Structures are given as structure tokens and as C-alpha cells.
């Protein structure tokens, strides 16, 4: 069911397994790791260059751990996230503060970023399927607490469901005005399909509708010529401009990987997804497969304003986008597209020539993409425990 694109590109299975293991070591255990253990039972994942831990990275760490069957890592991150970020009562009950300084333990925000909850719920459902609920953490009960609390939030005190229930689309944030627009990289139809299969909370048809709506939304959000999407959009798919113009930047890198996941897991929109991959790859190839930049206007021209990262304001050939563009090859049957897979194989998680280094975002997208392309990123179905 799950293609191994590295095998298709001619690499040996032992080398492939070593490649994934090395990336896991670099991100979770090596000298430049972003995973840090706390005491005997907890750990967190940190965006080290921004000096915080955020629900994005914590929930990514848990997804990697459940996919690779690393229960101790999963449990540690979950315990830390629950203790320090999850609201235990009040209007935000069961939601998570999206960012905290792990040195001072001061929350940078009390509010949520909707993708964090989206991943946490999916992580917990997969953990329940993989390890059962009698090994120290009742994963299913934890997932249901978030879901059940989510459905009780109706705008009182400005707090809402993470899904805009009128539009059946994930919100940018589930409170205030952020409930009324979105981020294309949060649209993971595959995760809503998983909720429909395993949440068992009575909202199965709604989640299936959300998956279909996410697919239709992505058709609108990705530019016809280039396949590029804005970082932030209205529910229509049109750019939502904040302080600066909404163009293809860091958040957007995740979109090709997310669409590839949906193609690979459920295959309900194959014709469009195949065409999207062809357009997106053709655009990147036109910029040079070994040199394309990482921020674009939707027509493929360089943006007027370059968003900085880690104190650097420049366009670069970023590992994160190299990774997710390779994942897009899952939607393609053209042998020509394996060039992107080989480019990822040859890429390195290491500092750039100017000293900039992002082992967190580049590193996590790199590891996710290696997992996808080696067939190690699955729907985790219930197993006898």
C-alpha cells in the first residue's frame, strides 16, 4: 500500500533504513537535537532558534514517535505538553497554549494554534491503536477529552471549535477573528478521515465532510500555473493579508507533503493531486532543482518582502522545501520526478554556508519526508494488544 520511493530510485533497503535512523538520531538524540528530556518521565521539542517549545513541534514529535514505535518518547512529550501547555479548565479547557519558553516556563501565549490540536488528537488516536490504553496513558480518553471539549466551544469568551463549523474548515486560531480565516498548511484531509474512522464521537460524517472540504479548498488555494499557495487565506482560498502580503513562505512548504499524505493514505482526489504535483514540480524545476528559493509570489516571482528566520533575511535553497517537494513525488508516476527524491537523498541536515541552521523546522520536515518516501508513515490501524 505504501510506496517506497527510495527503492524505486534505486537505493538499497539497508541504506534507506540507515538514512531514516540517522535523521531520527540527528533530530532527537544528536548534538544538534531539538528533543530534550526533563527528569525521568517528560520531554519537549524546541524551536531552538526561536527559544520556545510550540504545539507544532511537540505534536510533530509525537507523530514521529508513534510512527516509528518509540513509545517512551511519545509518552514523555505528551506528559510535558499536558502538564505545561494544556488548559485544565476555563473557556479554553483541553486546548493548548501554543508557545512556551522552556527555560523560564513562561507561556508566550495562552491561545491555541489550531494545527497543534489537530496533530495532538491524531497522534493520540494512533497511539491508542498502536499501544492500547492500558500502558500508563489512556490515549483514546485524552483524544476524546480534546474533541468533546472542542464541540462545547461556541464562541463564549471568544473561544471556538478549532474547525469553523459553518465553513467546515480548520481555523487559523480557534478564538476571536482568527476563527474566520485559515492557513492552507493546516488543511490535512487525511487527518479528518482518520478522525472519522477512530474518534467514535458521533461526528463521523462531519469529519468526512471536512476532509472533502479541505480537498476542495486546496484546489482553490493553489495557483493554477505554479501550484504555489499563500501562507494565510480566507476560506475562499484567496490570500489573507496580515501585516504583510500573504505569499508562499515557511508555512506553505508543508502543503505539498500534506497533499501527498492524503493521496497516499486515501486516494480520493487522485486526478487533481497528480496534476498539482506535476505543476508544482515543473515550477520548481524551472527555477533549478538544486537551487530553487524558498519564498515566492504565487506567480513564481520573488516576493517584495523577504520574511526573516533566525536573524537572517535572505532567500535560500531550504532543506524543508527540498524535503516536502520530494514528498510530492508520491503523487507522480513519472520516473523523471525521481530527481526530487534523489535531491532529498543527497541533502544534508547541517548549517548553511552563512552559518544559518534550523534543525527544528528543516529537521522535522526532512524526517517526515524521509518517512513518507521510505513507506514508514502509515495509517496506524488498531492492533490486538
Q: Which segments within the chain are labelled E, that is strand?
A: 35-38, 42-45, 53-54, 99-101, 106-109, 163-164, 169-170
Report the alpha-carbon distance of residue 85 to residue 83 in Å, rounded: 6
**Residue 270 in grid coordinates:** 487522485
Which one-letter DSSP state was computed for residue 79?
H
Catalytic residue among 26, 47, 52, 56: 56
CA angle, 12 as apex, 8 and 18 as ends, to 5°?
115
Residue 27 near residue 363, CB atoms below 8 Å: yes
Is 251 designated active site?
yes
Residue 242 near residue 312, CB atoms below 8 Å: no
Catalytic residue among 52, 142, 231, 251: 251
Among candidates 247, 381, 223, which has minimal Cα distance to 306?
247
Give the distance from CA 113 to its chain's centroid: 12
Other residues' Cβ atoms within 10 Å of the Cβ of residue 250? 18
Instruction: Give the residue numbers marked as catalytic.
Output: 56, 251
Amino acid at each position: 500500500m505504501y510506496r517506497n520511493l527510495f527503492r524505486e530510485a534505486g537505493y538499497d533497503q539497508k541504506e534507506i533504513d540507515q538514512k531514516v535512523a540517522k535523521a531520527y538520531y540527528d533530530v532527537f538524540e544528536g548534538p544538534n537535537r531539538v528533543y530534550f528530556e526533563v527528569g525521568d518521565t517528560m520531554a519537549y521539542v524546541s524551536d531552538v532558534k526561536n527559544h520556545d517549545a510550540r504545539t507544532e513541534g511537540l505534536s510533530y514529535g509525537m507523530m514521529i514517535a508513534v510512527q516509528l514505535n518509540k513509545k517512551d518518547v511519545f509518552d514523555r512529550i505528551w506528559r510535558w505538553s499536558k502538564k505545561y501547555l494544556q488548559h485544565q479548565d476555563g473557556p479554553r479547557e483541553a486546548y493548548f497554549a501554543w508557545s512556551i519558553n522552556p527555560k523560564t516556563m513562561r507561556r508566550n501565549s495562552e491561545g491555541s494554534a489550531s494545527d497543534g490540536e489537530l496533530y495532538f488528537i491524531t497522534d493520540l488516536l494512533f497511539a491508542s491503536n498502536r499501544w492500547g490504553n492500558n500502558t500508563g496513558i489512556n490515549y483514546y480518553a485524552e483524544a476524546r477529552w480534546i474533541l468533546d471539549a472542542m464541540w462545547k466551544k461556541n464562541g463564549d469568551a471568544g473561544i471556538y471549535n478549532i474547525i469553523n463549523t459553518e465553513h467546515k474548515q480548520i481555523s487559523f486560531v480557534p478564538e476571536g477573528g482568527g476563527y474566520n480565516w485559515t492557513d492552507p498548511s493546516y488543511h490535512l484531509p487525511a487527518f479528518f478521515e482518520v478522525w472519522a474512522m477512530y474518534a467514535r464521537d458521533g461526528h463521523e460524517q462531519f469529519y468526512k465532510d471536512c476532509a472533502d472540504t479541505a480537498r476542495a479548498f486546496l484546489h482553490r488555494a493553489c495557483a493554477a500555473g505554479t501550484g504555489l499557495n499563500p501562507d494565510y487565506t480566507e476560506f475562499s482560498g484567496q490570500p489573507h493579508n496580515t501585516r504583510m502580503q500573504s505569499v508562499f513562505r515557511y508555512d506553505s512548504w508543508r502543503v505539498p507533503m500534506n497533499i501527498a499524505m492524503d493521496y497516499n493514505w486515501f486516494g480520493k482526489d487522485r486526478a487533481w493531486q497528480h496534476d498539482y504535483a506535476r505543476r508544482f514540480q515543473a515550477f520548481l524545476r524551472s527555477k533549478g532543482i538544486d537551487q530553487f528559493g524558498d519564498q515566492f509570489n504565487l506567480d513564481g516571482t520573488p516576493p517584495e518582502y523577504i520574511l526573516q528566520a533566525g536573524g537572517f533575511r535572505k532567500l535560500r535553497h531550504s532543506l524543508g522545501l527540498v524535503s516536502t517537494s520530494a514528498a510530492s513525488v508520491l503523487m507522480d508516476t513519472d520516473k523523471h520526478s525521481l530527481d526530487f527524491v534523489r535531491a532529498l537523498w543527497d541533502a544534508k541536515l547541517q548549517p548553511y554556508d552563512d552559518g544559518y541552521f534550523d534543525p527544528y523546522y528543516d529537521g522535522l520536515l526532512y524526517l517526515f519526508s524521509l518517512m513518507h518516501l521510505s513507506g514508514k508513515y502509515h495509517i496506524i490501524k488498531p492492533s490486538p494488544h
